[in-house]
Amino acid sequence: MQKYLNNYYVLNCSTEIEILNVLNKRMDVFYNNPKNIVLSEVLSNSDHLIKNIELTEMCNISKISSGKTPISRSQGKSSEYTIPLLRTSNIKKGEIYIDEVTTTFISEKDLSDSNIVLENDILITIVGATLKIVGRAAIYNLEEYHSSINQNIARIRCTNESVIPKYLMIYLNSTFAQKQIERISKQGNQVNLNAKEVGEIKVIVPDLEIQKSIIAQYEKLFNQLQNSKDIIDTGLEKISNLLCNYTGLIEPILNEKNSVFINEISSIRLDYNFYNPTYNSYIDYILSKNDEYPIMTIKELAYGVFRGDTPSQYYSSGIKVLQINNIDPFKLTYEDAKFISEEEYKRKPRFQLRENDLLISGVGPPLGEVCIVKRDDLPLAAYNHISVIRLNENLIDPLYLCAFLNSSFGQMQMKKYYTGVRQIYLTNEWIEKLLILVPPFELQKIIADEVSKVLSSICNAEKNFSEIESTIFDDILYEYLKIDKELH
C-alpha cells in the first residue's frame, strides 16, 4: 500500500499531460497530496465496502449554509441579547459548549433562515487559523436554546430520511471526512472552505440499522469520555478541598469594596491590582491563621528563587528547555518542545533544574501556574520566563507547597503581585513575598500523599480520554462498515 501511495502519479498518470490534468484543478500541495488522492479514489467506488452501503455527496442528503456576521452583539446574555452566537471556539468534535458569561449573544432581529440553528442540525467549522480548527463537527441538541452561527461555521440540515443526523456527525469527524476536508480546504494565512465545498464531501451511507448500531457504540464510548473528562475537570477542585479539609482553611469572606482611597496607597506600587480588596482579603485571612500554624514566606522556605536562562541557539535534539506553554498546574507537558546543547546546559547553572524544584510561569498569560520537576524529567532546562524555586525540603514538602500555590490561597496572592498590561509579569522579588501556611511536616506529608492519589487518578483519566478521543470516530466505522484500514 505504501508503495502505491508513493508512486501514485507513476501508476495513475502515465504521461505529462495526464499529470497536468490532475494539477490544473488545484495547484496547492494539500489538494494534490497522494494520500488524500488515494482516499478520494477509495471513496469513488464501493467495491471494498459491504453490501447495502451507498456512496453519495453531502449535497445530495442535506441542505448546507454558512452563518453571517450579526449587526450587533453582546458579550454575555442580557434581556435584549438572548440568542447564542456560536463561533469556532464553541464547537468541539462531537460537542457544543455554551457559557452564558463568555459566549456572545445576539438579538432575535438578527436571526435569519441561513444562521438559525435548530435541534439535530450539524455544525461544522469551516474557517480557522489551522487545520486543527477546521472540520470539527457537532450535532445541536440544546433544547433550551435556539442559536445562531457566524460566518466561520456551516450548518448541515439532513434532508434524506435514510441518513440519521448523529451518524452523519460521527462520519464527519472520522478520518474518511477529515482527509477530504484537508484536501479541499484552502490553506494560506488561514484555513477555509465554503458551503459548496462542504457539499462535495463524499459520504458513506449504510442502512439505518447499521447507523443505529454505530450511534449506540459511539454513545457508549462518549459516556466513558465524559467520565474521564469529569475526573480531569474536577481534579484541581478536589486538591483544593483536600488542602482545606486537612488544614482548616476556608475561602475567606471577600471585601466587596470596589475602590481604593489615596491614603491607602503607598509608594511601593501605584497600580490598583496591588490594592485590590479581593486579593487582600486572602492575605489578611492567611495572616489570621498565624496562631494555628506558622506563616512563612517563600524566601524563608527556599534556598533561592531564580529565573531560567536564555538559549544561544535551539537544536532539533539535546536537552529539553521548558517554555511557558510547557507548564500546567502540577505537571509538565512537552508539546512543541525545544532543545539546547549539552555543552550550553552544563555551562549555564540557571539551566540546570533539579528534582523537586518548583517551576512558576512568570510571564503570561497564563501566569502563576506551578508544577514540580520529577526525577524522570531530568536532565531539563528552563527558559528565562520561568521562575525556579529551589526549596529547603527540611522545612516544606514540595508537593504540599505546589498544592498551596495552585490553590486560591496562592493564586490570589500572585494576582495581587503581578505587573503589566498586555503581557503580565510576576517577578522573583514578589514570588519571595508569597505567604505560605506551614503545618507540621507530618501533616504536610499526609496532604501530599492524598494529592498524589488525586493526580494519579487525573493522569489515568487523561490517558483514557486521549485513547478514546483519538479512536472514537474511526474505530467504530471500521468495525461496522468492514473497511480495510490499509485502504485508509
pLDDT of 37-78, one tens digit each?
A: 656 665 665 555 556 678 889 999 999 999 888 888 887 778
Residue-level pLDDT at 32: 66
The answer to whether 150 touches 73, Cβ cutoff 8 Å, is: no
Q: Cα Rg for the chain, rounded, in angstroms?
A: 28
264 and 409 inside one domain: yes
9 and 29 inside one domain: yes
67 and 91 inside one domain: yes
22 and 58 inside one domain: no
Residue-level pLDDT at 487: 47
95 and 199 inside one domain: yes
pLDDT of 381-398, one tens digit each?
A: 999 999 999 999 999 999
DSSP per-residue codes, 154-215:
EEEEE--TTS-HHHHHHHHTSHHHHHHHHHHSEESSSEE--HHHHHT-EEEEE-HHHHHHHH
97 and 117 inside one domain: yes
306 and 336 inside one domain: yes
Q: Flag whether 467 is in a domain.
A: no
Is residue 296 pLDDT above 90, yes or no?
Answer: yes
CA distances from 128 to 75, 156, 401, 451, 469 (A): 21, 18, 40, 38, 21
Q: Which three cell numbers stand for residue 243?
A: 488542602
Give the pLDDT band (50/70/90) at residue 14: very low
Q: Which three cell numbers stand for residue 261?
A: 482611597
Number of domains the chain contains: 3
**Residue 245 burial class via C-beta count within 10 angstroms: exposed 0-12, middle 13-18, buried 19 and up:** exposed
Asked whether the CA dihedral 78, 81, 82, 85 is positive or negative, the reply is: negative
Region of 87 please: left (phi>0), alpha (psi -120 to 50) or beta.
Answer: beta
Q: Which three cell numbers stand for residue 462?
A: 487523561
Is residue 231 pLDDT above 80, yes or no?
Answer: yes
Q: Which three cell numbers stand for residue 163?
A: 441518513
Q: Which three cell numbers stand for residue 53?
A: 452501503
CA end-to-end distance (rounded Å), the chain = 10
Report the C-alpha gap between 400 and 370 in whole angstroms: 12
Q: What is the mean pLDDT of residues 196-214?
A: 91
Mean pLDDT is lowest, of 271-280, 294-303, 433-442, for: 271-280
422 and 380 inside one domain: yes
Report the C-alpha gap between 426 and 417 in whole angstroms: 7
Q: What is the pTM of this model?
A: 0.70
Task: Tell me which residue range forms the domain holding 111.
Answer: 54-205
Q: Flag whether 475 is in a domain.
A: no
188 and 81 inside one domain: yes
Report the C-alpha gap between 97 and 99 in whole angstroms: 7
356 and 394 inside one domain: yes
Which segment, 15-19, 80-84, 272-276, is predicted with the most confidence on average? 80-84
Residue-level pLDDT at 9: 34
Residue 378 sits in a domain whose CATH number is 3.90.220.20
Q: Flag whether 404 is in a domain.
A: yes
38 and 110 inside one domain: no
Report the C-alpha gap between 448 and 400 in whole angstroms: 5
